[in-house]
Structure 1
Amino acid sequence: MGRADERRARQRGGARRAARGGSSTRRTGIRRFFTWKKILGTLFGLCLLCMGAFIVLYMVIDVPEGNPDAMRQSNVYKYSDGKTMARVGQVNREIVDLSEVPTGVQHTFVAAENKTFYKDKGIDLKGTARGVINTVTGKGKQGGSTITQQYVKNYYLTQDQTVTRKLKELVISLKVDRKKSKEDILAGYINTSFYGRSSWGIQAAAQAYYGVDAKDLNVEQGAYLAALLQAPNQYDWGIASDTGKKLAVARWNYVLDNMVDMHWLSASDREGMTFPKPKAPKAAAGLEGQEGYLYTAAKAEVMKDLNLTEAQFDAGGYTVTLNIDRKKQKQLEKSVRQQLTDNLNPKSKKADSRVQAGAASVDPKTGKVLALYGGEGLSKHYVNNATRTDYQPASTFKPLILAAALENNATTQTGQSIKASTIYDGTNKRPVVSDGQKVGFAPPNEDDHSYGPVTVQTAMNKSINSVFAQMGVDVGMDQVMATAKKLGMDDADLKPYPAQTLGTMGASPMEMAGVYATLDNHGKQVTPQIVKSVSKQGQDVPLPDAIGNQVISRGAADSVTSVLTGVVDDGTAKVSVRDNPARDGQQVAGKTGTSDDNKSAWFTGYTPDLVTSVGLFGEGALKTSEAGAHVSMKGAGGLPRVDGGSFPARIWAQYTFNSSASNGEFDLDTDMGAAVEVPSTPQDTPSAPESTPQDTPSAPESTPEDTPSAPESTPESTPPTDDPSGGVTPPTDSSSPTFGIPEKPGDSGSNKPRGLTG
């Protein structure tokens, strides 16, 4: 090869090296590290890493227990007609089953928040990514979460806006979507969301904005509630600015338009819809006036019937519907006000400040408590006077003694059957005798009045203590107390000693109303129930039956009812009840009661369809040295003594004659009582014992065996004999004493009580 060839060869090699050297220069710097292969490889690696991390998170994070605050509910109390009386609890929420929400209303929430809800897997990756970015960059709350994610946030997590919480939300939402049905998730979402006006959940919101239950919402109303979830306070029509109202209407339209797009609403129906303006905000239903007493009585009954602790019940979720009839409740309150409180001046008269009133009214056929009066109001007087049991029922207990006598076929000390026409000695402070021996009890009659020989009917009419004290021993105090328990009295205070014949045990108006309701129900036990129904989260809870077994025979119960008509027509209640112009021929049975030293006064009475017990109690006024003590009511209302025939009977009459069915008739299976034939001595010529009280005990105090007027020692020459009707015919000798008897005796053997036609 020549030199020229060598030179050309070297030049070609140098050119190739120069070309290679030039290419190396252009790939220096950042391009050396970021090729497409490297970028794609890195992204793929990151995806694998994220997927791995997510798998780890999915395996590590479990679905937690529900947030206690999200489960907290109020207890809701309703009147018998369904009107809400009160909501009690820390959180205004009442969880309802999705089946109680109309399908169209369900769709409004899906249309507002998550149109793909029924198809998605519980998460929205784009929305979640946007939320994470917004959180990291400080741009505020996320948007675009699914209904499942929002439910998870409400129920399982917190409202904190952190990356960690959002990642947990994502994982838990996936798991919840797999474990729960869409219906369960939607129900959880609408029950845990906040709607404004202190309302949590759709039921509370429906009441707060439209005054209806969730089951009664229409689509227009549902669309507004669904719209509220985006901005509850801003969209609340009652407090919203003009801008807020415009935004609320725009959001409402958005919800309905989405429903049309999803074919959940026809275009024609959509065109006909107008914005449903909600009601103005108002204070939540509370416990004003008598409602506080209704609430406490209902709560106590539910806890007892369902065997719940107070903590369990107060956890919430119960809907308690009461048997209270709002019309009768208002009438009872009006009667107490007009007949009692309008006649008292507690601020200036000490005696007037001592008077507390309580009352309970019961349907004898069902046991429903239709009305209740507990006092001035729960905030002023915490004790419920309708259910308190610390005052004596006094003579309202006497009918139970007669019921025990009739049920047990009891006899007097001389073996005579105890019936309405049986003769007893009504002498004041007459010693009670058992088997010819004094038992150490000689009760005084009211005002120390002596009556001498009287029938049981008259003794009931005039509430003669000495007669019923002896009758209780004749029957046997164990039997008397057993009958009282059967009729519905609490046996905790039923001790079998003679003084109990005066009604010295404790009792409440509710308790006595139940006892007399059992008599009115022909001896079939009635347990007063203020609660009509209880449900928890839409599921009804079974309650005990208010009507029980036959506890005394119908004949015994009906005979007592017949006798008690005499108290109204001829006895201690005739002025307030018999002569009441509103009575209008109504048949009535009842009994007054006034305790020792006038610390309590009662009238418990009934018509065929309504039993009501009214009690007045002497209680020391607050902020005095007597506060809470049992004190006398003497002088209250300008009366020397507040007895059962005064204020209690007047309250009872006004309430009953405006609440009970007019012209109702007792259906009595008896030939005893006010209809029994008795001696026909003219009423205007009463015997000496009726008009001249004796200041000293009669002969029975020292020699009961020789006393001709006492049933235990009726002379053998003129013994009482059973008449064909089953009563006892008194002696007819003209020299015998004239016995105290009811006015206008009826025909012998009639089973219709005298005086019941007005």
Structure 2
Amino acid sequence: MGRAEERRARQRGGRRAAPRRRRSSGAAGKGGIRRLFTWKKILGTFFGLCLLGMGAFIVLYMVIDIPEGNADAKWQSNVYKYSDGTLLARTGDRNREIVDLGKIPKPVQKTFVAAENKTFYKDAGVDLKGTARGLLNTVAGKGAQGGSTITQQYVKNYYLTQEQTVSRKLKELVISLKLDREKSKDYILAGYINTSYYGRGAYGIQAAAQAYYQVDAQDLSVEQGAYLAALLQAPNQYDWAIASDEGKRLVRARWNYVLDNMVEEGWLSKGKRDAMTFPVPKEPKNDPSLEGQTGYLVKAADAALEKQLVAQGTADDLKTAQAMVDQGGWTVTLNIDKKKQAALEKAVKRQLDSKLDPKKRSVDADVQAGAASVNPKTGAVVAMYGGKDYLRHYVNNATRTDYQPASTFKPVILAAALEENAETQDGRPIRASTVYDGTSKRPVVDNGTKVGFAPENEDDRSYGKVTVQRAMNDSINSVFAQMGVDVGMPEVVKVAGRLGMDTENMEAVPAQTLGTMGASPLQMAGVYATLDNHGRKVTPALVKSVEHNTRTVTFPDPVGEQVISREAADTVTSVLTGVVDDGTAKSSVQGNAARDGQQVAGKTGTSDDNKSAWFTGYTPDLVTSVGLFGEDDKPPHAQVPMYKAGGEPRVNGGGFPARIWAAYMFGVTAPDTEFDLETDQGAAVQPTWTPTPTREPTTRAPSPTPTTRTPSPTPTTQSPSPTPTTQAPSPTPTTGRPSIPPTAGPTDGGSLEPPGFGDDE
């Protein structure tokens, strides 16, 4: 036995072997996990999946061939119908003319590459990172976020469909790779610019060049080409003729981006770039099928359909949705009532157009009307007036949001006060009978501190102590500016949003109490429809139903949940009846001979510098908002005042807008209707009067014509004034109802004389 063996034997004999330690269950588990997930296994699995994916892709590559042009590329008409199924319009033929790439100037070709895909001439036809992101977003239901190459966009436009599915995106990837290998870059670029949609019904660069600049594609300048290339990102939003101020800003920025990229790529010298100016497109050419109000209705229906395609995930974005709608095959039934539509057009013609004479007064050419009529029970848009003629004025005045709604916003402030149980600065609950100081230019106060806002009343008129009812009737700015601060402007903005206004860019500042935000007649009709519907949200719906042979589109219910309490909504309605019977709309609405006993609520509005004038009002069964807008008749169509238009010193909401409203509404609403109100406040509630015991009660002289309003079936809970007074007989008979007495209690100074109703606006 060698020494080493002897030593090991001694060690074994001289020591007891140490007992083996038992591993705890946790240690055992850890060891099991380590054995299960070793680096070798993880790497092996990863590479296995990669090989599997590569194999699957190779199979796809071998199986999928470049197809013929898709069926959607074949033009079909869209059909638009009135609510009763009768034909409104049918879109015509596709405006497309293929042009050889060699006829398009090289620099113009490069504008499209600079706009969409700077690496076009170097890449393999796909953007793997962008495509992977698109696939993940599709699986997650988030929609695409860009990243497609020109090749991929061409494949989607011409060979596939616009639908966003995983299988379609995989096909797009494979076909793009094959196309890039089999065809030249010039072939692909020519296909892309000849199949893309540019808006104005134009497919391809030749049709677009004619539609926007009235030249052939071969005669386009680099500046014009850059605009057309920029346009592809959002054709309708960037069309200069109908773009909002924000849309114009965005397309200018996109145009600059295209040219700057050309300089960066060496396709354009910096000197030439610096000398270029934005090429404003020409007005669109006439399409006879869209004349009159038809174009406004068709385009508004298209916009609603496109928005819903995005909302339900059928299209990634509005650009894709626009292309899907314009490919045709849609039958769109609108909620527009044929008879009500004709009545609204007739009312505008008789009450406004017949009074305007541009030859006599140049300002008359600058007056634009817009209106929207909504059923408050269903949300259906039953009539819409977009402007003089779609072929002469492409912006829809019923849906534009760039003019101030002015005092038609005041009911929103009152609704917020009632909904939030707000109080005045001295702790009095805000009610229809609460007294405010109606002094013009009175500084607005918050907790004893002036907030730096002191609005002027119309004509700088001071009213002294007035009730909220009187302030609404006479549209007193100083009262509602203070009320907005009493409620809290953030709360006012929140309630405005719940009622249906767009509050994304609405600042919570006192100046908003004057209605200085932007709004459309359609939007304001929705707000007032929510009030008419007792506080249940009404979202105006232009489209009734949509049919297509390959797609399904469902629209949400226009009537939603309760957004303010019924009591708050009904109280605002009650107060607004005073505007019609005793306030700024009295002469035009209350005194209209066609009124057949209908109970009416509404509010006038006239914006700063007389650039807009409004009347939004409603009966129990219909809401209509009418707006007049001062717009320069010549490009760039800036907002302008309407002073002396129609021969009147100033265009007020109680004038032309209210007269249009009354002429239309009293011909289409049910006669002798009354609001079903749950409130003890406002002009619709018959006040209780207590004669003084020290004098013989006087008798009010009978009105020569009976009032159109019936007394409330139940007595009000309004308490009489603490000091009974005798109502003096009116020197001349009146058809108006007496003022609601102010609340008792502390005020911010002045007497508590019950105020009378003021003059018309």
2:289 partner SS = coil
* Partners of 1:566 and 1:742 within 8 A in 2: no
Q: How does 1:495-644 map to 2 (within 5 A)?
A: 495-537=507-549, 540-622=552-634, 627-644=636-653
The partner residue of 1:299 within 277, 299, 302 is: 302
Residue of structure 2 in register with 1:660 after alignment: 669
Number of the residue aligned with 1:471? 483
CA distance in 1, matches of 2:735, 2:476: 14
1:232-264 per-residue CA deviation (whole Å, 9 max, x = no partner) reads xxxxxxxxxxxxxxxxxxxxxxxxxxxxxxxxx
- The one-letter amino acid paired with 2:408 is T
Q: Does residue 294 of structure 2 align to residue 313 of structure 1?
A: no
**Equivalent position to 2:443, from 431, 441, 448:** 431
Instruction: Classify the secondary structure of the residue corresponding to 1:590.
Output: strand
> In structure 2, which of residues 670, 677, 687 is the aligned counterpart of residue 677 of structure 1?
687
Q: 1:321 to 1:61 in 2, by over 3 A?
A: closer
Does the CA-based 8 Å contact 1:421-1:676 persist in structure 2? no
Query: How far apart, in 2, do the equivalents of 1:348 and 1:631 lie?
Result: 18
| Contact preservation (8 Å) 2:308, 2:553 | no
Q: Distance in 1 between matches of 2:328 and 2:584?
A: 48
Partners of 2:74 and 2:737 lie apart in 1 by 68
Shift of 1:74: 2.1
Secondary structure of residue in 2 paired with 1:492: coil
User: Is 1:389 equivalent to 2:401 in the alignment?
Assistant: yes
Classify 1:61/1:460 alpha carbon distance in 2 versus 1 (closer, same or farther; 3 Å): closer
Contact 2:287-2:391 at 8 Å conserved across structures: no
Indicate the SS of the match to 1:568. Answer: helix
Alpha-carbon distance change, 594 to 91 in structure 1, aligned in 2, over 3 angstroms: same
Residues 663/476 of structure 1: CA separation in 2 closer, same or farther (3 Å cut): same
Amino acid at match of 1:732: T
Between the aligned partners of 1:614 and 1:553, the Cα distance in structure 2 is 27
Contact (CA 8 Å) 2:688, 2:718: kept in 1 or not?
no
Residue of structure 2 equivalent to 1:74? 77
Q: TM-score, normalised on structure 2? A: 0.57
Please show how residues 394-409 of structure 1 align to structure 2 within 5 Å. Answer: 394-409=406-421
Q: Is the 8 A contact 1:446 1:464 kept in 2?
A: yes
Gaps of 5+ in 1: 1-59, 93-154, 157-282, 686-723, 736-740, 749-754
- Find the aligned partners of 1:511 and 1:683 in 2 and give their Cα distance: 47
Using a 3 Å threshold, how does the CA distance of structure 1 residues 64 and 346 change in structure 2: closer, same or farther? same
User: 1:413-471: per-residue Cα shift (whole Å, max 9, x none)?
Assistant: 11111000000110111110110111110000000000000110000000000000000
Aligned mate of 2:370, from 343, 358, 361: 358
Rounded to whole Å, the distance in 1 between the matches of 2:598 and 2:74 is: 53
Q: Which whole-Å CA distance do the structure 1 matches of 2:359 and 2:398 have between them?
A: 24
The one-letter code of the counterpart of 1:633 is M
The CA distance in 2 between the partners of 1:514 and 1:452, in whole Å, is 34
Superposed CA deviations along residues 525-545 of structure 1, whole A, max 9, x for unmatched, are 000011001111176521111
Structure 2 Cα separation of the partners of residues 63 and 629 of structure 1: 51
Matched with 1:454 is 466
CA distance in 2, matches of 1:512, 1:683: 44
Identity between Structure 1 and Structure 2 (%): 65
Q: How does 1:142-541 map to 2 (within 5 A)?
A: 286-307=289-310, 308=315, 309=319, 310-537=322-549, 540-541=552-553
| Preserved CA contact (<8 Å) 2:688 2:716 | no
Tell me the residue number matched to 1:85: 88
Taking the aligned partners of 2:538 and 2:440, their CA distance within structure 1 comes to 36
Q: How far apart are 1:745 and its partner, in Å?
A: 3.5
The amino acid that maps onto 1:612 is: T
Q: Distance in 2 between the 1:527 and 1:440 partners?
A: 36
Corresponding residue SS for 2:618: strand
Deviations for 1:603-623, whole angstroms, at most 9, x for unmatched residues? Answer: 000000100000000111126
On the 8 A contact 2:80/2:332 being kept in 1, the answer is yes
Would you say the 8 A contact 2:592–2:662 is kept in 1? yes
Q: 1:725 to 1:83 in 2, by over 3 A?
A: closer
What root-mean-square deviation, in Å, do the aligned CA atoms of Structure 1 and Structure 2 show?
3.2
Aligned partners of 1:69, 1:416: CA distance in 2, in Å?
Answer: 65
SS of match in other structure, 1:658: helix
Asked whether the equivalents of residues 570 and 677 of structure 2 are also in contact (C-alpha less than 8 Å), the reply is: yes
Structure 1 residues 645 and 289 mapped into 2: Cα distance closer, same or farther (>3 Å)?
same
CA contact (8 A) 1:421 1:729 kept: no
Q: Which has the larger radius of gyration?
A: 1
Is residue 630–residue 639 contact of structure 2 (8 Å, CA) maintained in 1? yes
Change (3 A) 1:469 1:67: closer
Per-residue CA deviations over 1:465-523 (Å, capped at 9, x if unaligned) read 00000000000001101000000000123210001000000000000000000000000
The residue aligned with 1:646 is 655
Deviation, 1:677, is 3.4
AA matched with 2:479: V
Q: How far apart are residue 683 of structure 1 and its match?
A: 13
Q: Which residue of 2 aligns with 1:744?
A: 737
Partner amino acid, structure 1, of 2:513: T
The verdict on how the C-alpha distance between 1:411 and 1:729 changes in structure 2, with shifts beyond 3 A counting, is farther
Task: Note if 1:732 corresponds to 2:723.
Answer: yes
Deviation at 1:732, TM superposition (A): 3.1
| Counterpart Cα distance in 1 of 2:90 and 2:508 | 44
Structure 1 residue 78, shift from structure 2 partner:
1.1
What secondary structure sits across from 2:605 in the alignment? strand
- Secondary structure at 1:311 match in 2: helix
- Whether contact under 8 Å (1:419, 1:728) holds in the other structure is no
Contact 2:690 2:725 in 1 (8 A): no
1:226 counterpart residue number: none
**Matched AA of 1:744:** R
How far the C-alpha of 1:678 sits from its partner, in A, is: 7.6
| Alignment check: 8 A CA contact 2:376 2:532 kept | yes
CA contact (8 A) 2:433 2:740 kept: no
Q: In structure 2, how many angstroms separate the alpha carbons of the residues matched to 1:629 and 1:684? A: 56
AA at the equivalent of 2:582: D
Q: Which amino acid aligns with 1:469?
A: A
Q: Distance in 1 between matches of 2:385 and 2:375?
A: 16
TM-score by length of 1: 0.57
Structure 2 CA distance for aligned equivalents of residues 78 and 345 of structure 1? 35
Residues 71, 408 of structure 1: alpha-carbon distance in 2 compared, 3 angstrom cutoff: same
- The 1:471–1:731 alpha-carbon spacing in structure 2 relative to 1, beyond 3 Å, is farther
Contact 1:593 1:643 in 2 (8 A): yes
> Residues of 1 paired with 2:65 and 2:610: CA distance?
69
> Could you say what secondary structure the match of 1:389 adopts?
coil
Q: What is the deviation of 1:734?
A: 8.1
Offset from partner CA, 1:70-126 (integer Å, 9 cap, x none):
74322221111112222225359xxxxxxxxxxxxxxxxxxxxxxxxxxxxxxxxxx
Specify the code of the residue in structure 2 equivalent to 1:669. Answer: E
User: What's the secondary structure of 1:615's corresponding residue?
Assistant: strand
Matches within 5 A, 1:46-85: 65=68, 67-68=70-71, 71-85=74-88
Query: Would the alpha carbon gap of residues 551 and 742 (structure 1) be closer, same or farther in structure 2, given more than 3 Å must change?
Result: farther
The amino acid that maps onto 1:603 is: F
Q: Distance in 1 between matches of 2:446 and 2:351?
A: 44
**Take 1:678 and 1:455, find their aligned partners in 2: how far apart are those partners?**
16
The count of residues paired between Structure 1 and Structure 2 equals: 457
C-alpha distance after superposition, 1:643-697 (max 9, x if no partner): 0000000000000000111111111111111126388899999xxxxxxxxxxxx
| Pair 1:538–1:342, CA change in 2 (3 A) | farther
